Amino acid sequence: MSSRKDIAVVTGGAGFIGSHMVDVLLERGYVVRVVDNLTGGRKSNLAHLETCDELTCHWQDIRELDPASAIFSGAKFVFHFAGIGDIVPSIEKPIEYMDVNVQGTVRVLECARAAGVAKFVYAASSSCYGLAATPTAEDHPISPQYPYALSKYQGEQTAFHWHKVYGLPVNSICIFNAYGPRVRTTGVYGAVFGVFFKQKLAGKPFTIVGDGTQSRDFIYVTDIARAFLAAAETPIVGERFNVGAGNPQAINHLAKLLGGDTVYVPKRPGEPDCTWANIEKITSQLAWKPTVSFEEGVAIMLKDIRLWNDAPLWDPASIEKATQTWFRYLGTRSD
């Protein structure tokens, strides 16, 4: 009997979700190869694995990958997380977003096709649904509100096109609101956890958008990684699966869990009042379900709150300045 281990490639493997994907794969006995240009990822996200013989890292841009790249040779699965996120930068730099998230995906798809992988799993974004009816199922109409959402959707459509034309086995995991350890701590204004945690450390009030009753379907990162593995190991191909907790949480509730004063800033156009994943498809077809409650997940993150010491400290004035582009372009549309 052969003792050869299966190989998995994780693009964006030094990033938030990608690094947890690496953890899950190593725990399951896979040999893992990471591709990351460290624009958003950090080597520290993999520091606990530095002595692992089953992990190799390639610090390069996905747009520079060659279909004959040895990185993908012999790989069974490819998990594609690499890309750039955030709303405001995508409005300001749409060419870069389309280049990385669409053309970069083409490069990875071609590498996977040349390697003859058994499954390519794409990390899609629930932002493609726009201001959606809830709970949101996979067949909901697509309505991207900004270039980031559009680029992620077009990347997903490209992956499914490679499945249709070239027979590449593809599934897509449409991620709702991911949170958990290693979530980004620095950079542009955006993710609520990074904003709130730094404000808590500084003894400043939490800046809540709108009235705080808006809710998000927060899904813990290790549950997401398990969903990706399930989408790879299933014989099912050519499908999108929503991944959320199916249990939206109000931003006011998050602020209450963290404990502290609050201040409210203007509601932003193009943001839904509620995100809520219909997860019936993935629970029935892949036997996956979320296992970490929101309260448990927040408590785990609070244990490491000091990791946010170097994160930017946001207040109403700096948020107003940082989101000017958002209001300029998204606040003047008739739709």
Render pLDDT for 198-239 as a digit per residue (tens, 0 to 9).
999 999 999 999 999 999 999 999 999 999 999 999 999 999
What torsion, rounded to 10 degrees, do the Cα atoms 202, 255, 247, 185 define? -10
pLDDT of residue 137: 98
Q: What is the pLDDT of residues 287-297, one digit of tens each?
A: 999 999 999 99
Element (H, E) at 175: strand 170-175
Q: Is 139 exposed, middle or buried (0-12, 13-18, 19+ CB in 10 A)?
A: exposed
Q: Calculate ∠ Cα 89-93-94, nearest 5°.
A: 110
Taking the alpha carbons at both ends of the chain, their separation in whole angstroms is 61
| pTM for this prediction | 0.95
Instruction: Give Cα 249 to chain centroid, integer Å.
Output: 18
pLDDT recorded at residue 222: 98
The Cα–Cα gap between 15 and 46 comes to 9
Per-residue pLDDT of the chain (335 residues; tens, 9 = 90+): 456 899 999 999 999 999 999 999 999 999 999 999 999 999 999 999 877 889 999 999 999 999 999 999 999 999 999 999 988 899 999 999 999 999 999 999 999 999 999 999 999 999 999 999 999 999 999 999 999 999 999 999 999 999 999 999 999 999 999 999 999 776 666 689 989 999 999 999 999 999 999 999 999 999 999 999 999 999 999 999 999 999 999 999 999 999 999 999 999 888 899 999 999 999 999 999 999 999 999 999 999 999 889 889 999 999 999 889 989 998 765 45
Based on the residue annotation, tell me whether 148 is a catalytic residue of this protein: yes
* Total number of residues shown for the chain: 335
| Beta bridge partner(s), residue 196 | none
Out of 97, 122, 146, 148, pick the active-site residue: 148
CATH class of 7-178+219-243: alpha beta
List the chain domain ranges: 7-178+219-243, 181-216+247-275+292-330
What gap in Å lies between CA 159 and CA 154, rounded to an integer?
9
DSSP-assigned states of every residue in 14-61: TSHHHHHHHHHHHHTT-EEEEE--SSS--GGGGGGGTT-TTEEEE---
Please tell me the predicted confidence (pLDDT) of residue 330.
86
Residue 44's CB: how many other CB atoms inside 10 A?
Answer: 11
Specify the 3-state DSSP secondary structure of 11. Answer: strand
CATH placement of domain 181-216+247-275+292-330: 3.90.25.10
What pLDDT sits at residue 270? 81
CB contact at 8 A, 305 and 201: yes
Question: What are the CA-CA distances from residue 102 to residues 67, 116, 117, 137, 328 (Å)?
Answer: 16, 21, 20, 24, 25
Q: What is the predicted pLDDT for the residue at 117?
A: 98
Give the span between the Cα atoms of 154 and 141, in whole angstroms: 14
Which amino acid is it at 285?
Q
Residue 318: predicted pLDDT: 93
